[in-house]
Chain A
Amino acid sequence: MSTLDVGTYSPREKGVAGLLGALAALLLLAVITGVLAPAYLLYLVGLSAMYMLLSMGLNVQWGYGGMINFSVAAFFGLGAYGTALLTASGSPISGGVSPVIALFGGLGLAAVLAVIIGYPTLKLRDDYLAIASLGLAEVVRIFILNESQWTAGSAGLTGIPLFFSDWPVLGDLTYPYIFYVGGTPLFNMSQSVVTSALNVVLVTVIVAAVYLFLRRIHQSPWGRVLRTIRTDEDLAETLGKDTFAFKMQAFVIGSLIMALAGVFYSHLVLFVSPSDLQPITTFYVWVAVILGGTGSDRGAMLGGFTIVAIQQGTRFMTDTGALPIGAAPLRLMLVGLLIIFIVRLRPEGILPPERELIWPDSLGGGRDE
């Protein structure tokens, strides 16, 4: 009982929180001492939040519903390409559409693909779904790579605007932007810092909204049925649930969240190319989910940080020349070893779902007694 009381945290949770706090302090110190550019730190925050979103999307499919989706990269890529094709100046199709509208283009593409992939595969055995979804994700990548009359092919899409580029105030800031308090100039911020900060604000809003939404549906009767399906699909079927419909809904919701991450990525990095759809992207997200704890949204957040730490850490280590191995194989190696060791040593992940599954009202006694 005591481990589930609201307000008390297990030693592991305290440990994770402490570690993240220490890491944040270290990064802040690096910024203050000038080792790390503030804009770059903000960029990294945005990137980890994007991986969080991807992990939360996969969590709906794998964590809640037990569906092995190996086409994360495809949904992410469709979100990214959907918005890029509509907004980018380098787009072979249209370009120039407002990002706020293009957002729905990316989401729409992903939803259509989710139904196309999901309809034939969600009826299959779990391991068949894994194989089929990886295959179909490759089809999407091959398509984007080869149909250059629509997608610009291997060159990728450039000239993607910032998400806020056509907003009334945020789009017209002049740089360096000087922040006044009572008529006296206080900060003098460069363009890169302001845009990065805006991106962080944007992604924070998205992550918070998605988190609250997922928390709500996870605890709803719908989420309960989905968890039953994950544990024993035949049982759910026996109880009269249309398991295919539930799985399809979860698959589409998860895919939309991944596409949302892709849309954000486009407007963060301002460049997309078919290499963003490589299978490694899918497996980064898998590592994030199984490391954090399958079915746990807080775990997904921890996983998101870890992935960015791997990507940036390997870059930093190879930049300093301390290692005899390139960054790409080092990342592959780390991702591979992480997968092997998590399944071996801690299959439930670092922050497995505990209180996520319980209504706050039913905890802590008091009111019910």
Chain B
Amino acid sequence: MAQILQYLANGLVFSSIIILGSIGLSLVYSIADFANFAHGDTMTLGAYGAFVAFGVFGGLGGTILGLPIGFFLSLAVGMAIAAVVAVLTHIFVYKPLDTDSIGLLITSIGVAFVYRAVLQGTFGTDFLQYDIRRSGPIPVLLDTLDVAVTQRDVAIIVSAAVLVAALHLLLQRTTLGRKMRATADNPDLARVSGIRTDRVILVMWVVGSALAAAGGVFLALYSQLDPRIGFEILLVVFAAVILGGIGSVYGAMLGGLLIGMLHELTPLLSDIGLPIGTAYAPAVAFVIMVAVLLVRPRGIAGDMT
């Protein structure tokens, strides 16, 4: 039982990362109308951006949830870098294209490779770590529930929750959010209603990439940083988006939560005797994705926006 609780706790951390990635992917899918294969590498880009920034700000004193203030500053820098790069990519690569959503999909693979080539060429392929000391599990949780959760895990979950809540407020309580939802729902109708959809699309790239970058930073913090982390997790993020229903931000959150949990629950399979090790965790996610595509292509929340 404690074992399952432990998996669920791990799942919550991993879900937080997947949710941050899947929101942006879902936004691009609904507003720009293509499967953006560069999204994973946008996550990596943000993680490296924060890594560089952390070299500058890392010394700033004070800690929140066991992480230095400088880390959160670096996180913001990483998010900003990813947003700027994504907007530039949109303006110089995607926007001038006269092609359909399949052409955009193929182009996005080219973009992903260019991002990764730059990162790999600059930083090499070695594993990197944010220079933050790891602490042991929180004693209270370990004693009462027999679950090992570090302060860092809690920081990831709380930060993700704050970002998701902020996005929720943006979408529901601001004019900009209403415009975004209208554009996602029906771009043509939004345009004839007087919404400057060009600008909304730019905002969408900013929001989606910034959240992706945050996901990338937390992924690097949770495990480690190398140029492939984003591309490797991209398929899991796609699984979350498809499970949630493409184009639905709230669906993407729900899908991210479920896929993240299932990903971390994979060890249960070998616990009950199936010869499926943890290396197959992404495979489990893909199989679920394919099953969803077959049974309910709209996803579990495909009708909500």
Binding site for B on A (CB under 8 A): 68, 120-121, 123-128, 130-132, 134-136, 138-139, 142-143, 145-146, 279, 283, 286, 290, 325-326, 328-333, 335-340, 343-344, 347
Among B80-88, B149-157, B160-168, B283-291, the stretch that binds chain A is B283-291
Please determine whether B110 and A130 come into contact, CB atoms closer than 8 angstroms.
Answer: no
- Cβ contacts under 8 Å, B105 to chain A: 68, 127, 130
Q: How far is the CA of A121 from the CA of B109 in the complex (A)?
A: 20
- Cβ contacts under 8 Å, B103 to chain A: 343, 347
Please determine whether B121 and A330 come into contact, CB atoms closer than 8 angstroms.
Answer: yes
Please determine whether A336 and B102 come into contact, CB atoms closer than 8 angstroms.
Answer: no
Tell whether B159 is near chain A: CB-to-CB under 8 Å: no
Please determine whether B107 and A135 come into contact, CB atoms closer than 8 angstroms.
Answer: no
Kindly supply a per-residue 1/0 record for chain B positions 171-212, scoring 1 wherever the CB is within 8 Å of any chain A CB and 0 otherwise: 000000000000000000000000000000000000000000
Please determine whether A338 and B110 come into contact, CB atoms closer than 8 angstroms.
Answer: yes
Interface centre among A283, A286, A329, A333 (most CB of B within 10 A): A329
- Cβ contacts under 8 Å, A343 to chain B: 97, 99, 103, 106-107, 110
Please determine whether B121 and A127 come into contact, CB atoms closer than 8 angstroms.
Answer: no
Binding site for A on B (CB under 8 A): 34-35, 93, 96-97, 99, 101-103, 105-107, 109-114, 116-118, 120-121, 124-125, 231, 235, 238-239, 242, 277, 279-280, 282-283, 286-287, 289-290, 293-294, 297
Please determine whether B290 and A120 come into contact, CB atoms closer than 8 angstroms.
Answer: yes
Please determine whether B117 and A333 come into contact, CB atoms closer than 8 angstroms.
Answer: yes
**Which single residue of chain B is at the shortest CB-CB distance from A136?**
B286
Please determine whether A142 and B111 come into contact, CB atoms closer than 8 angstroms.
Answer: no
The A/B interface has a contact count, at CB < 8 Å, of: 125
- Cβ contacts under 8 Å, B116 to chain A: 329, 332, 336
A134 to chain B, nearest CB (A): 6
- Cβ contacts under 8 Å, A132 to chain B: 286, 289-290, 293
Please determine whether A340 and B93 come into contact, CB atoms closer than 8 angstroms.
Answer: yes
A119 to chain B, nearest CB (A): 10
- Cβ contacts under 8 Å, A337 to chain B: 110, 114
Q: List 20 A-B contacts (CB under 8 A).
A: A124-B297, A127-B101, A135-B239, A138-B235, A139-B280, A146-B280, A279-B231, A328-B120, A329-B116, A329-B121, A333-B114, A336-B116, A337-B114, A338-B110, A343-B99, A343-B103, A343-B106, A343-B107, A344-B96, A347-B99
- Cβ contacts under 8 Å, B34 to chain A: 127
**Given A343-B107, A344-B96; A333-B118 close (CB under 8 Å):** yes
Please determine whether A126 and B297 come into contact, CB atoms closer than 8 angstroms.
Answer: no
- Cβ contacts under 8 Å, B106 to chain A: 286, 290, 339, 343
- Cβ contacts under 8 Å, B289 to chain A: 131-132, 135
User: Of B102, B125, B239, which contacts A126 at CB under 8 A?
Assistant: B102
Q: How far is the CA of A126 from the CA of B293 in the complex (A)?
A: 12
B294 to chain A, nearest CB (A): 5
Please determine whether B35 and A340 come into contact, CB atoms closer than 8 angstroms.
Answer: no
- Cβ contacts under 8 Å, B238 to chain A: 131, 135
Please determine whether A340 and B111 come into contact, CB atoms closer than 8 angstroms.
Answer: yes
**Which single residue of chain B is at the shortest CB-CB distance from A68?**
B102
In the complex, given contacts A123-B294, A279-B231, A329-B118, what are 18 additional A-B residue pairs having Cβ atoms less than 8 angstroms apart?
Answer: A121-B293, A126-B102, A127-B34, A134-B235, A135-B235, A135-B282, A135-B286, A146-B277, A326-B124, A331-B117, A332-B114, A332-B120, A333-B113, A335-B113, A337-B110, A340-B93, A340-B110, A344-B96
Please determine whether A336 and B114 come into contact, CB atoms closer than 8 angstroms.
Answer: yes
